[in-house]
Amino acid sequence: MLNSSLSQLSALLAEKKISSAELTAEFLKRARALNPRYNAFITLSEEASLAQARAADLMIASGDAKPLTGVPIAQKDIFCTKGWLTTCGSRMLSNFVSPYDAAVIERFNAAGAVNIGKTNMDEFAMGSSNETSFYGPVRNPWDVAAVPGGSSGGSACAVAARMAPAATGTDTGGSIRQPASLCGISGLKPTYGLASRYGMIAFASSLDQAGPMAKSAEDLALMLNVMTGFDPRDSTSLQREPEDYTRDLRKPLEGMRIGLPKEYFVDEISDDVARAVEASIAEYRKLGAKTVEVSLPNTSLSVPVYYVLAPAEASSNLSRFDGVRYGYRAPKYDDLNDMYCKSRAQGFGAEVKRRILIGTYVLSHGYYDAYYIQAQKLRRLIAQDFAEAFEQCDIIMGPTSPTVAFDLGEKSNDPVQMYLSDAYTIAVNLAGLPGMSIPVGFGQKNRPVGLHIVGNYFSEAQMLNVAHQYQSVTDWHTRMPG
């Protein structure tokens, strides 16, 4: 059952082989047992989860079940969840019980899914290793010496360690795909605007996007069906006809053109990752796909552009955490300014402060044109690179991360090295494109390797098809840490 797909779990529930309450209790038991080791969850609540499970059982009994009704799903602690502590991995929100549900949470609730707990994450989603969380680092279940990636490291770990059948994540520069890659699971960041950002605590508004993390492409498709859809409360939400993302899973890949950006297969990529990725591409050729070399000439600009724009937006988005209305307030202060300074100095961790400082700097008078405006121009060039590449191919592939999971502490004192580990994923957010990562083998120290799949706008169904076909002939995605 731990390895069952979402549709298998759904079938077990529908056939009354197990109740949602039993299923939920089972996963909660495992999560409780493993959490001291992995630290994947910030909050677990038997009471709240089992209440939802019992409600789901009633839905099933009355014949109102939907595909995910009764299925436990772990929720990243970035989504405001009514009645739940919603911390965003920060001391700043360590006392914040949300009075409302994020749009994504509402959608899972409406689908009858059970919230199995709130997953750990880098503080305010700023990080690539899950080491910036106020609640301590998450461990990689394949090797507890290794990081799980970030910022959705808790979600990736929970799915990889089978503490939850599936989880939600958010991805601003790779925060779904990189931890999915490092933990050997599948994760998808949709086209910007498909999933509502309402109630998802903002890091960089123009880049943030929620998406699913699960064991397989098929599970991702079911999750995506629930998570996406127009929301008038988010002005950047796109008004489109609802899609069934499972519809193309079984299409053959015959004749599909896979673009391999020459800039992705260079020195920065480690040998073990290169080998696994190349082997997966060989598998795709066997499935009938063709490969073509494409070029994304501005790839090397992605990281610097991102580290201007994302901190700029973040510096403003995080201004609301001032200790006035909710969240952390310093216990002692002299006056208003002192209250702001102390509350924010004590409430935010080092990485968050670093990005607030960078963002404040690049928006300052006299620097705005040189940094922010320039970065916006380059952002358009980066998007243009992809548009040109997609004239020659249907899908783009490469490594999700240049290396397998690194050790805890290995990069935490070298932010630039840490930032560079997201080089491949960041460009996708800057362009607003959908991207995903699927497991394609193991590298050094038996740590997982992920394949990065980038599609054109709104090509999620096709990307899931590409991933599913691979997963139909390989079994990397079924491997589970010992």
Residue 60 Cβ vs other proteins, minimum distance, rounded to whole Å: 31
- 377 interacts with other proteins by CB under 8 A: no
Q: Which is nearer to other proteins, 367 or 458 (CB)?
A: 367
- 331 interacts with other proteins by CB under 8 A: no
* Interface segment toward other proteins; rule CB under 8 A; list 92-100, 210-218, 261-269, 463-471: 92-100
Q: Which is nearer to other proteins, 77 or 460 (CB)?
A: 77
Bridge partner residues of 106 (DSSP): none
463 phi and psi angles, rounded to 5 deg: -60, -40
- 93 interacts with other proteins by CB under 8 A: yes
Candidates 76, 189, 215, 342; catalytic one: 76
Determine contact, residues 296/388, Cβ cutoff 8 Å. no
Burial of 359 (0-12, 13-18, 19+ CB in 10 A): buried
Determine contact, residues 179/149, Cβ cutoff 8 Å. yes
- 96 interacts with other proteins by CB under 8 A: yes
Between 102 and 121, how does the x/- string for binding to other proteins read (CB under 8 A)? x-------------------
Q: Which of 46, 283, 322, 407 binds other proteins (CB under 8 A)?
A: 322
* Interface segment toward other proteins; rule CB under 8 A; list 96-104, 287-295, 424-432, 452-460: 96-104
Q: Which of 2, 58, 292, 324 binds other proteins (CB under 8 A)?
A: 324
DSSP 86: -
- 312 interacts with other proteins by CB under 8 A: yes
Determine contact, residues 277/451, Cβ cutoff 8 Å. yes
User: Quick check: is 151 catalytic?
Assistant: yes
* Interface segment toward other proteins; rule CB under 8 A; list 3-11, 194-202, 277-285, 392-400: 194-202
> How many residues of this chain interact with other proteins, rule: CB under 8 A?
44
- 458 interacts with other proteins by CB under 8 A: no
Could you count the other beta carbons within 10 Å of the beta carbon of residue 296? 24
Contacts made by residues 381-385, CB under 8 angstroms, sequence distance 24+ = 381/298, 381/301, 382/296, 382/298, 382/299, 382/301, 382/302, 382/305, 382/427, 382/430, 382/431, 383/430, 383/431, 383/432, 383/433, 385/295, 385/296, 385/297, 385/298, 385/299, 385/427, 385/431
Q: Which is nearer to other proteins, 372 or 442 (CB)?
A: 372
Cis peptide preceding 237, ω within 30 of 0: no
Helices (H), 363-475: 368, 374-389, 415-420, 423-431, 460-473
Q: Which of 21, 42, 188, 200 binds other proteins (CB under 8 A)?
A: 200
Q: Which of 206, 291, 374, 384 binds other proteins (CB under 8 A)?
A: 206
Q: Which is nearer to other proteins, 22 or 322 (CB)?
A: 322
Distances, alpha carbon 152 to alpha carbons 8, 158, 213, 276, 375, in Å: 25, 10, 9, 23, 26
Q: Which is nearer to other proteins, 63 or 232 (CB)?
A: 232
Candidates 5, 20, 49, 151; catalytic one: 151
**Cα 420 to the center of its chain, rounded Å:** 18
Residue 124, sorted as left (phi over 0), alpha (psi -120 to 50) or beta, turns out to be: left
Distances, alpha carbon 314 to alpha carbons 222, 324, 372, 482, in Å: 31, 19, 13, 38
Q: Which is nearer to other proteins, 157 or 433 (CB)?
A: 433
Q: Which token pair is 297?
A: 């000439």
Q: Which is nearer to other proteins, 368 or 419 (CB)?
A: 368
* Interface segment toward other proteins; rule CB under 8 A; list 130-138, 147-155, 179-187, 198-206: 198-206
User: Quick check: is 76 catalytic?
Assistant: yes
- Residues designated as active site: 76, 151, 175
- Interaction site with other proteins (CB under 8 A): 79-80, 86, 88, 93, 96, 98-100, 102, 197-202, 204-206, 232-236, 312-313, 315-316, 318-322, 324-326, 336, 340, 360, 363-365, 368, 372
